[in-house]
Chains A and B, each alone.
Chain A
Amino acid sequence: MNERGYEAVIGLEVHAQLVTATKIFCGCPAVYGADPNTLVCPVCLGLPGALPVLNREAVAMAVRMGLATGCRVAGLSVFARKNYFYPDCPKNYQISMYDRPLCEDGFVEFELGGEWRRVGIERIHLEEDAGKLLHDAGGGSLVDFNRCGVPLIEIVSRPEIRSPEEASTYLVTLRRILRYLEICDGNMEEGSLRCDVNVSVRRAGETALGTKTEIKNLNSFRAVDMGIRWEMDRQIETLSKGGRIEQVTNLWDAASKRLVEMRSKEQAHDYRYFPEPDLRPLEVAAEWIEALRRSLPELPVDRERRLRRHYGIPPYDASVLCGEKGLADYFEAVAGAGADAKLAANWIMREVLEEMKSGPAAPRSDPGAVSSAGPFGFEAPLDPSRLAGLIALVKKNAVSGSAARDAFKEMVRSGETAETVVARLGLAQESDSAALEKWIDEVIAENPDEAARYRAGKTALLGFFVGQVMKKSRGTANPKLTGELVRVKLGT
């Protein structure tokens, strides 16, 4: 609820590009980044006489998304033509689905501010992507049809989202599911995940819906959040002044961080949907649906709950670790190799993710490049058993925290085990009293003034002595034990 007594009613339409090998209706590769108009054929160019043939792989992916979000998968769904003129659409109609979508009535769940939320999914349907317009400096426009016919699923939420935070969390949740299923890489910068938003506001407590407006081109989580805030403010402002909300479509301009009106209600398209006569109704056999259901991985929200319960790790850790399937797999492998779960979570969330400069959630610097592990691969810098070995040494105080971090870097570099690196570099933590006392005696002897001041009551110098011992031991002295021994030696 807004401070001025308004609440928002938000619905998201999310388009996710499926990572099929080929396009949805032809055999052209469905890949990003090729030279313009090199991945085209008569079908995806919409040349006269060419006909679409449905790619079953795209159907399987869409069905899996439907199942993962609790949707009912239709045994019979119907492709429809959405008619509109635009130069990036070579047939001037898009093959989509209309009144008989593939999946209906699902939901996703996520935790926000310590509360579990459930947002309904109205429908998920298959459609083809359009090409891309490139406006050149001379005022002309060019069109690249490579993207034409790349399979998309459109995931339409119910208008059950109430705040910008909820909208972006919903989107993050969808993205996580898509990536768990390995059907969409979720890269918003490259446009493989896109989001349009419908927003209306109403006074808190009202049940009738206000007039909604649409925001297109929200191409980052931040844009979703900012765009909705902008539009909510604008609508509340208008209503507070007694104005009326017009049904418009706005475009988010990422550069200026503001909304620009794209078209008004009068200019709204009549898409003249009708059943696509070039394709038979899509039949999805019940046995196939069941086989696809069995192929689903453990879903992120289930895994998050299980990790919390089973490993006793905090909710935040569980949510970070479950952000990527590969990351959660890695965590469980490390824990499975005997590492303390909480330590393992800490080590993975800090050292491991830091080490992976191009971590899985980070955008790839070169958009054309795909790592050898593919868009869903998770290449940890250390294999689980070696990390578990290091964590075991930390757990039993055999290395200090800082020495362990050095050992980690060296293990990544050399490929050796924790024991080998710790031994080779002499990083083992010294907890033997005799050895520690020898160093302490030397330090006291070398610093008589400080010792005297300490004895006179300046106990804050304890840190100085421990530091000197650490230095002498090249970081291997057990700092806690050293402190205790210093106190004993200096008689406090």
Chain B
Amino acid sequence: MSSKAWGVVSIVLFIIGILLGYVAAPGKVSVSTTTVTVGGAGAQTITKTVTVTGTAAAPEQKEYVIGLAIAVTGGYAVDGPRRRNAAILAIEEINAMLEEAGSPVRLKYIHEDTKTSAEGAIAAYEKLASAGVQMVVGPLATSECKAILDYAKSHHMTAISPSSTGTAAMVKNDYCFRVPSPDKYQGPALAKIIWDQGIKKLVIMARSDDYGKGLADLIEENFKKLGGQVVKIIYDYTQPDLSADVERASSAVANFGADAETGVVIIAFDDDGIKILEAARLDPTLSKVRWFGPDSMKRATFLPPKAKEDIAKFLQSVHFMATTPAVGSKDNPLVKEFIEKYTKKFGESPEASTYAFYAYDAAWIAGLTVLVAHKYDGRVFQKLVPHIAKHFYGVTGWKLLDEYGDAAVPIYDIVAPRVVDGKWTFKTIGKYDGTTKATTFYEQP
């Protein structure tokens, strides 16, 4: 082949390569929105060691250390400090409790910033290890948890994460426990909630990423177990137009019969969600049936002022409801007290951060475990945590753990679009409790 011909071939390959790459590329990660607020209560990012001690040092006083490996810089610069504050509040409460009871034992904490990165998490664990710490609250992200798994195990450091929910850190017999329920519990919960609404036939529209496909499969599996029928439509969320997918959903609903026994589940993020809802609201078939969604649908994107009012009205007209991990449930008496104490101490309500509630429970479980063990040894803690958690009911509910060491009893709030004080919001209208698998509504869905 002549060099000219090679030239032609290489250019054609180059162009095809570009196009192929373009087709094959999984949805690109868009630049995420990060608002950085500086200041505020407890927003300092300096690592510091604080000893919380009682007034009179009794001769036999004993002190146990709890590490806080919580990111307060990087992606968690805003939410991290809130979670750390909640954990500190828990430790102070335990000390106050011990002091009042006349116990000589106290807890102290050491905070290390994991900087929202895998390397940062390992570095924080190394520092805590050199300080002899064997019980740690944190890290926050699934990626950070995954990074410290081996280190924690080999150094006998028991970790309790307040916020990791990803499957990547779902490991049996490890040293990492997780107090929020992982993503996998949302599928069964949603299937049950929908089934309880009298829906027998379900059309699921899900985005083609791990989250969408995984959740769609779980809903399908559980809904079928309950006796229902399911049609799944996995759409490519990178496409500029999704009208063909909406049309398929519409046909599927028409085949099932557009009546009270048929429902639609939409598992979308922002722009794909709007594309679907904008097309669906003009479709008579899809407007006739009930719609449901997971926590990803509880977004300001779908309500005014960000979205058109027409979209919110459509969601309301199809009695849309979404599940979202419950924290601060109205009927949990611990919640009110926590919110009051936290607000008093830090000048801001913990409701700003869902996971501050989990951090509070994580620190309580960590503290109770250390106290019960009476021997400062991570190997002991690792065996104790599941038992302590099983008998623990906190601001985020019952903390029974599953075989992976993750919270097994999910509690989801059920939210629906409503106008409150002239503003559209997702209002909590009910609750799903994994303990009883029962749905309670505070108002008509």
Asked if chains A and B come from one complex, the reply is no
